[in-house]
């Protein structure tokens, strides 16, 4: 069935009577439980585990030792890095930056757990990064662990979607509290089952971590381990599904209350690629909050290419951040303001992004699942094809690469739009980019292009949101059936107002 719906404000009086009554999704009744499913097989995942400490604790204003960076002129790289290294030697501390604009000609690295880099406020502490070489694919400010995985422990039976435990060939070397990755081999049969025989070649024949979890209990007799968070997709033994112990994450790392700018000369910015201002990699239970971008000169650009990237992480919160105006918005991974890669249960909340190529993006390879974007605002996205004159088209936020699983876009305002589709050969054979993801109560003046592998969901839209779920376009190839849609133009009266927050409330009530 073709579904192009454009509901204009002028039609508001027509919809007014219908909108007056609160309504609930058929997939989220008042007595909803995580096991609920409709008779036709449709269901909503429990998204409430996203964010710092699974949403069970607020980000702490830690009472930790404070290491102060003195005010000063000129390049402050060495002065700041020395304090970050001191914090690592102490086993964690707050590195407090002074007010003013701090010039950083090199890069900064957080190299230990429990380190918080804190400014005096986003309007008071500004870091001006100026390095223009050797940063392709890297960031100016990095918090990077050293993730190591143990040997594979094979699953003894298939693990179904939403499972809270898995049966293994052996549990002898496992302990309660172990951090583990669960995944499978992206073999020919797995690719074929998803219609990706020509695509996903970047992962062909390789084991990929799909979920990052903690072991909460072990039944040694049954060789079964319980997990803190449910699975987001089936793990069949036919694809060598296994569990591996992980070590080396940074934990309780925070970057907060400051502004960043890494814009350089336009020519240099367009010669480099995928340069982010901030990156968290191999981190868990960590955060970035109250961070903004700024222009070094009046009317100038804020960022060289990317903003905040979260990669190979678990349970990270990015909150109350505002990023805008990257220089390089061309192809090859540039202009991504809030980027999540191969990470699980990342919560991006109350953030604003504007003028990026893709303002909010789940990107590159398999392994992104359970992530939530809550109350985010995306505006003025533009994908630039030719630098001269910035020729391009509207740049949508999107699920960009290789099957993001069970993610939620909740109460977001999209004045450009969001896309989930089969991208086929684009971006090195990205193929299907999403499955079982939900758009809940989305507003703005943008477009939702929703073509997910298997099932996808749009539940409640604003009256000016354009919705495309039609099967027949290039991006819908192999995505049958058409994604589920409820409540077009009726977002205002959808109950509950936030799916993530209501699910979190329910789970907390059961603890």
Q: Considering 214, 247, 280, which residue would you say is the last residue of a domain? A: 247
Sequence-separated (6 or more) residues with CB below 8 Å from residue 509: none
Confidence of residue 313 (pLDDT cuts 50, 70, 90): very high
User: Which residue in 186, 194, 198, 163 sits closest to 238, CA to CA?
Assistant: 186
- Using the predicted structure, report yes or no on whether residue 11 has a pLDDT greater than 70: no
Mean pLDDT, the chain, rounded, equals 95
Cβ atoms of 161 and 45 closer than 8 Å: no
Residues 358, 414 within the same domain: yes
* Dist. CA 326–CA 308, nearest whole Å: 12
- Using the predicted structure, report yes or no on whether residue 53 has a pLDDT greater than 50: yes
Residues 503, 428 within the same domain: yes
Q: Is residue 140 part of a domain?
A: no
The predicted pLDDT at position 389 comes to 84
Q: Considering 190, 213, 247, which residue would you say is the last residue of a domain? A: 247
Confidence of residue 193 (pLDDT cuts 50, 70, 90): very high
- Using the predicted structure, report yes or no on whether residue 261 has a pLDDT greater than 60: yes
Helix (H) or strand (E) holding 338: strand 336-341
* Dist. CA 459–CA 439, nearest whole Å: 6
Three-state SS for 262-281 is CCCCHHHHHHCCCCEEEEEE
Q: Is residue 105 part of a domain?
A: no
Confidence of residue 61 (pLDDT cuts 50, 70, 90): confident
Cα separation values, 363 from 324, 398, 433, 434, Å: 19, 9, 9, 11
| Average pLDDT value for residue range 385-392 | 90
Residues 355, 405 within the same domain: yes
Residue 170 belongs to what domain range? Answer: 148-247
- Using the predicted structure, report yes or no on whether residue 431 has a pLDDT greater than 60: yes
Q: Is residue 20 part of a domain?
A: yes
Residues 281, 242 within the same domain: no
Confidence of residue 3 (pLDDT cuts 50, 70, 90): very low
The predicted pLDDT at position 20 comes to 78
Query: Which range is least confidently modeled, 202-216, 311-325, 339-353, 378-392?
Result: 378-392
Residues 310, 193 within the same domain: no
Residues 222, 323 within the same domain: no
Sequence-separated (6 or more) residues with CB below 8 Å from residue 341: 309, 310, 311, 312, 362, 363, 364, 365, 367, 368
Output the domain CATH number for residue 217: 2.40.30
- Using the predicted structure, report yes or no on whether residue 13 has a pLDDT greater than 50: no
Q: Is residue 335 part of a domain?
A: yes
How many CA atoms lie within 13 Å of 442's alpha carbon, on the beta-carbon side? 29
Query: Which range is least confidently modeled, 60-74, 372-386, 438-452, 479-493?
Result: 60-74
Confidence of residue 19 (pLDDT cuts 50, 70, 90): low
Residues 225, 269 within the same domain: no
Q: Is residue 471 part of a domain?
A: yes
Cβ atoms of 284 and 317 closer than 8 Å: no
| Average pLDDT value for residue range 205-218 | 98
Q: Is residue 442 part of a domain?
A: yes
Residues 463, 322 within the same domain: yes
* Dist. CA 334–CA 161, nearest whole Å: 34
Residues 382, 493 within the same domain: yes
Q: Is residue 413 part of a domain?
A: yes
Q: Is residue 119 part of a domain?
A: no
Query: Which range is least confidently modeled, 54-63, 338-347, 471-480?
Result: 54-63
The predicted pLDDT at position 178 comes to 98
Residues 277, 183 within the same domain: no
Sequence-separated (6 or more) residues with CB below 8 Å from residue 243: 152, 153, 155, 166, 168, 180, 181, 182, 225
Joined tokens for residue 358:
């893709």
Q: Considering 247, 277, 293, which residue would you say is the last residue of a domain? A: 247
Joined tokens for residue 377:
């605002």
Helix (H) or strand (E) holding 427: helix 426-429
| Average pLDDT value for residue range 186-196 | 98
| Average pLDDT value for residue range 415-439 | 98
pTM over 0.75: yes
- Using the predicted structure, report yes or no on whether residue 172 has a pLDDT greater than 80: yes
Residues 348, 485 within the same domain: yes
User: Which residue in 165, 207, 323 sits closest to 259, CA to CA?
Assistant: 323
Residues 300, 231 within the same domain: no
| Average pLDDT value for residue range 350-376 | 98
* Dist. CA 233–CA 224, nearest whole Å: 18
| Average pLDDT value for residue range 113-123 | 98
| Domain count across the chain | 2
| Average pLDDT value for residue range 266-295 | 97
């Amino acid at each position: 069935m073709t579904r192009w719906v454009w509901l204009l404000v002028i039609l508001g009086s027509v919809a007014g009577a219908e909108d007056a009554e609160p309504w609930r999704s058929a997939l989220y009744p008042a007595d909803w439980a995580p096991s609920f499913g409709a008779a036709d097989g449709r269901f909503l995942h429990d998204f409430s585990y996203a964010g710092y400490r699974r949403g069970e604790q607020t980000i702490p204003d830690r009472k930790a030792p404070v290491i102060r960076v003195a005010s000063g002129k000129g390049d402050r790289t060495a002065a700041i890095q020395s304090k970050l290294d001191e914090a690592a030697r102490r086993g964690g501390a707050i590195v407090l930056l002074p007010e003013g604009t701090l010039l950083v000609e090199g890069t900064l690295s957080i190299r230990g757990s429990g380190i918080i880099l804190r400014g005096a406020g986003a309007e008071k502490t500004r870091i001006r990064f100026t390095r223009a070489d050797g940063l392709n694919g890297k960031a100016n400010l990095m918090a990077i662990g050293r993730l190591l995985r143990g040997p594979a422990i094979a699953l003894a039976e298939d693990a179904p979607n939403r499972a809270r435990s898995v049966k293994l060939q052996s549990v002898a070397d496992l302990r309660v509290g172990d951090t583990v990755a669960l995944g499978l081999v992206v073999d020919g049969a797995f690719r074929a089952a998803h219609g990706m025989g020509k695509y996903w070649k970047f992962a062909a024949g390789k084991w990929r971590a799909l979920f990052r979890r903690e072991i909460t209990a072990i039944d040694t007799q049954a060789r079964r381990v319980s997990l803190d968070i449910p699975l987001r997709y089936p793990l069949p033994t036919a694809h060598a599904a296994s569990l591996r112990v992980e070590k080396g994450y940074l934990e309780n790392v925070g970057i907060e209350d400051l502004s960043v700018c890494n814009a350089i000369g336009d020519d240099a910015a367009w010669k480099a690629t995928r340069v982010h201002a901030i990156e968290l990699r191999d981190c868990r239970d960590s955060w970035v909050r109250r961070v903004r971008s700024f222009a070094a000169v009046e009317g100038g650009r804020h960022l060289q290419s990317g903003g905040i990237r979260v990669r190979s992480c678990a349970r990270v919160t990015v909150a109350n951040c505002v990023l805008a105006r990257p220089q390089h918005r061309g192809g090859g991974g540039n202009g991504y303001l809030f980027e999540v890669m191969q990470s699980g249960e990342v919560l991006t909340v109350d953030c604003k992004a504007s003028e990026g190529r893709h303002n909010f993006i789940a990107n590159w390879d398999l392994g992104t699942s359970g992530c939530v974007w809550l109350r985010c605002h995306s505006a003025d996205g533009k994908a630039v094809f030719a630098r001269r004159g910035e020729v391009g088209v509207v740049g949508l936020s999107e699920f960009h690469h290789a099957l993001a699983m069970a993610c939620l876009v909740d109460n977001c305002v999209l004045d450009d739009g969001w896309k989930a589709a089969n991208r086929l050969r684009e971006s090195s054979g990205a193929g299907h980019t999403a499955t079982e993801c939900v758009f809940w109560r989305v507003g703005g003046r943008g477009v939702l292009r929703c073509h997910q592998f298997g099932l996808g969901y749009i539940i409640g839209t604003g009256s000016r949101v354009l919705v495309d779920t039609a099967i027949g376009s290039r991006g819908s190839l192999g995505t049958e059936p058409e994604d589920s849609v409820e409540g077009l133009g009726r977002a205002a009266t959808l109950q509950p107002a936030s799916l993530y927050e209501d699910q979190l409330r329910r789970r907390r009530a059961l603890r």
